[in-house]
Structure 1
Amino acid sequence: MRVFITAGEASGDKLGAALIEGLRALVPDVTFEGIGGPRMSEAGLQSLFPMDEISIMGIGEILKEYRHLKARIRETADAVVAAQPDVLITIDLPEFSLRVARLVKAASDVRCVHYVAPTVWAWRPKRADKMAAHIDQVLAVLPFEPPYMQAAGMECDFVGHPVVMDPQASAAEAQAFRQAQGIQGPSALILPGSRRSEVARLLPIFADVARRLHDQRPEMRLIVPAGIQVVDTVQEAARNWPGDPIILDPRADVDGAQKRAAFRAADVAVAASGTVSLELAAAGTPMVIAYDMSWLSRQIIGRMLLVDTVTLVNLVSEDRSVPEFIGKDCDPVAITNAVLDVLDDPQSQNAAMELTMDRLGRGGPSPGERAARAVLDGIRRSADRKP
């Protein structure tokens, strides 16, 4: 069996490595080629070119690198058509992945599978219809996504979310963290995001929240885990916050053990919107979600949004117990009050967090194994339909 697989971001590299291992366990003679990062390379993939070359986020960045990106899309599609694999698996990064799949389908009958469904349930639902012209099967990481893809004419399998396989700190490790950091009373995680653009926008708001929390609960310690891309910015800003905040540098936490312990040790978190809500739920840490964007993005996304919450814990659990403050509602006073309310009643989110983890596949087969089985089942179904 021959598989061509592509990923362009760290999260996709993680998914790809798990899928490669899952396929190899089920089909020992499988071979892989494509594009990936260090994890996929460790799993046995020799990347066609460095993954970083296609890891481009945002309209401005895409336009700036458009000519180079377009060339890499064509190069990748040509390599797939030349290889004639049993399946092409593209992982996330739709700006790159779906363009490659379109070119491949135009020149061949290679089966195309896309891993991670686009958020058509939140906005721009017609993206699913456009995908269906060149994607045969979608592997979804959220349990409510398959009907949206199937309605557009694609096969879709829920394969579980990778967060359920992430290691978690023990109670003893959390307590050791508290002792090492001198935390005597309550503690709160401050998580302003991992991308430079969102951190630049959110840091002033979160700094205001930090000051207000200290004013109302001076015994509270703030813990600020900084993302690798924004560590210097976050460190510089948080140094001026009151209450001797604990700033975690990822460069000194190679295996992530300190961050995991901090997540488990904290009593509450205020975090930017995104998958971090699932990481907090996995650690059992109640949270408040806050996010803001540019005025133009507020107007566009506000008009296009199809759901009443963007917090994944709320969506997966079909509950609304996690407070969120998005766009014009991203107000430091309101956020602070919500954090204190959650701190005083931390049990209110427990059921939603537990249900979320169960629905994402905790306790079952790993997402890598489930994804591998779904890919193989799809190939068999396709073969059965051929005359």
Structure 2
Amino acid sequence: MKYYLIAGEASGDLHASHLMQALKDKDAEAQFRFFGGDLMSAVGGTRVKHYRELAYMGFIPVLMHLRTIFRNMAICKKDIAEYQPDVLILIDYPGFNLSIAKYIHANTNIPVYYYISPKIWAWKEWRIRSIKRDIAQLFSILPFEVAFFEQKHHYPIHYVGNPTAQEVSEFRAGYKQTFAEFCEENNLDIHRPIIALLAGSRLQEIKDNLPAMIEVAERYEDYQMVLAGAPSIEDAYYAKFIKNTPVHLVRNKTYPLLAHSTVALVTCGTATLETALFDVPQVVCYETPVPRLIRFAFNHIIKVKYISLVNLIANKEVVPEMLADRFVVDKIADELYRILPGQPERDKMMASYKEVRERLGDKVAPDEAARIMFDLLVKRREELLRLAQERAAAEAKAAAEAAERARQKALAEAEAARKKAEAEAELARKQADERIRQAQQRAAQAQQEEWEVQRSERYEEEQERGENF
């Protein structure tokens, strides 16, 4: 089958590439065309545009590149309509993708599937209207989304498992490096346990959160601080914050770091879930502007109770969330102390991590999604074939019935013409007979009149002869 995919950022490129490979495993004839990145290209297919030409974050960058964004949307819509895939698969990136879905639903018969559903439970819940209208099938990687979509909005979705859970499970099963080996490889102290610092992957996140994280961790002199470097952030930027501190920076080793960490300070996002899946107790730190206003919003306006995926999945506070007015160094340090080895909150958090893992399940997300998608598409193709056959049969039947009606009409018209001709012939015969009869009458009358004239003439002659005598 022909698949068209759209991924607008690096994480989408990763998830889409795994899905494409799973689809190839299910569908030997799979053909791909996509907006995406290098990972998708490595799987195969035709890349129309790289996601770097699409990804603009923040109000000002979006405003400055509106013309480019609209041009890319127009190119995308036209390309999909011309390619006529069996399905359009959207991966996250709702601002762009929901606009494409609206156009494709309104102007084509191509079904639209959404893999990694938009997080409308957190913001822009009004988007449910366009999702219900334009998205044929929705695939979720977060178990709590099932209740949100199906119970609250009466819109059925597919929970296919969580990719992060799968990735962490596979890594832990194959990772054999010891703590000492990890420390030696990264110039760390093999005698001190690690406090992992996961400060986010965006410049502003790092600027807002890393200094406070370092200040908190420095209070625990028996531990060493190790910062997980984000691939997109240069060393020079980290140096602004970790220079003249005992912080060690490691790159492309987040999973090994977590595998050997005792506790962690983490910003919100997928990192909180990764940390939980490595059974590392954590404190979530996230500085926000106007903290009291943000706290008021959380209490009275924002519709979610938590910001970390761990708490959202568990539907309770498993890990402390130090944001808004709770983002205070002393308070964060107190929460960190409560989860150190030997403290009761540590065991409580670890037990709750087990509940989170159970809720996530053991499905392999791309494989499960690919299986469902392929089965749905096969059924759709069979249904379309059945409908086409029924339509062809109905059209053939209608044509036969029309032909029979035409034949019957022709016979009826021929019969009517025959009868009309016979009637006209009979009428003509009768008219001819009548004319003959009338002619005969006239001839007889003329003969009679001639006889009368002759008789009168003979009479007159006889009278004349009698007078002469």
Give the TM-score of the pair, scaled to structure 2: 0.74
Give 1:233 shift.
1.7
Give secondary structure in 1 for the equivalent of 2:171. coil
Q: 1:110 Cα deviation (Å)?
A: 0.9
Aligned-pair CA distance for 1:376: 2.2
Name the residue aligned to 2:407. none
1:214 lines up with 2:218 in the alignment: yes
Correspondence 1:183 to 2:185 = no
Instruction: Give the partner amino acid of 1:56.
Output: Y
Q: Which amino acid is 1:156 matched to? A: I
Question: Does the CA-based 8 Å contact 1:102-1:134 persist in structure 2?
Answer: yes
SS of corresponding position for 1:309: coil
Q: Which residue identity does 1:176 align to in structure 2?
A: E
Cα shift at 1:354: 2.5
The answer for the alignment partner of 1:368 in structure 2 is 366
Among 197, 213, 216, the alignment partner of 2:204 is: 197
Are positions 1:93 and 2:93 aligned together? yes
> Which residue of 218, 225, 228 maps to 2:228?
225
The residue number in structure 2 matching 1:14 is 14
Deviation at residue 51 of structure 1 after TM alignment = 1.6
1:310 aligned partner, one-letter code: I
Q: How many residues align?
A: 372
The structure with the larger Rg is: 2
User: Are the counterparts in 2 of residues 21 and 43 from structure 1 also a CA contact under 8 Å?
Assistant: yes
2:452 is aligned to none
Structure with more helix by fraction: 2
Q: Which moved more, 1:320-329 or 1:344-353?
A: 344-353
Which deviates further from its counterpart, 34-43 or 353-362? 353-362
% identical equivalent positions? 24
Offset of residue 292 of structure 1: 2.1
Partner of 2:60: 60
Tell me how far 1:381 sits from its aligned partner: 5.5
Q: Which has the higher contact order (CA 8 A, sep 6+)?
A: 1
Task: Quote the offset at 1:35 in angstroms.
Answer: 1.2
Matches of 2:378 and 2:155, distance apart in 1: 15
Distance 1:239 1:114 in 2: 44
Q: Say if 1:140 and 1:157, in contact at 8 Å, map to a contact too.
A: yes
CA–CA distance in structure 2, aligned partners of residues 351 and 171 of structure 1:
24
CA shift for structure 1 position 200: 2.1
One-letter amino acid matched to 2:179: A
> Alpha carbons of 1:207 and 1:64: their partners in 2 closer, same or farther (altered >3 Å)?
farther
Q: 1:264 & 1:71 partners in 2: Cα distance?
A: 45
Q: Per the alignment, in what secondary structure is the counterpart of residue 317 of structure 2?
A: coil
In structure 2, the CA distance between the partners of 1:358 and 1:43, relative to structure 1 (3 Å rule), is: farther
Other-structure match for 1:350: 350
- SS where residue 57 of structure 1 aligns? coil
1:314–1:352 CA contact under 8 A, matched in 2: no
Select the residue among 272, 276, 290 that pairs with 1:277. 272
Shift of 1:235: 2.9
Q: Normalising by the residue count of structure 1, what TM-score does the alignment of the two structures yield?
A: 0.89
- Residues 1:267 and 1:3: Cα distance change in structure 2 (over 3 Å): same
* 8 Å CA contact 1:2, 1:31 repeated in 2: yes
The structural deviation recorded for 1:299 is: 7.5
Inter-partner Cα distance in structure 2 for 1:66 and 1:240: 42
Q: Which runs of 5+ in 2 are unaligned?
A: 388-469
Do 1:137 and 1:378's aligned partners in 2 also have CA atoms closer than 8 Å?
Answer: no
CA gap of 1:300–1:110, structure 2 versus 1, over 3 A, is: farther
Runs of 4+ in 1 over 6 A off after TM superposition: none
Shift of 1:144: 1.7
1:275 Cα deviation (Å)? 0.7
Shift of the alpha carbon at 1:301? Answer: 5.5
The whole-number CA distance in structure 2 between the counterparts of 1:374 and 1:32 is: 18
> Which residues of structure 1 form unaligned runs of 5+?
251-255
For residue 158 of structure 2, what is the amino acid of its counterpart? D
Kept in 1: contact 2:189–2:224 (CA 8 A)? no
Distance 1:319 1:147 in 2: 15
8 Å contact from structure 1 (residues 88, 110) kept in 2: yes
Higher mean C-alpha deviation, range 311-320 or range 76-85: 311-320
Residues 356/299 of structure 1: CA separation in 2 closer, same or farther (3 Å cut): closer
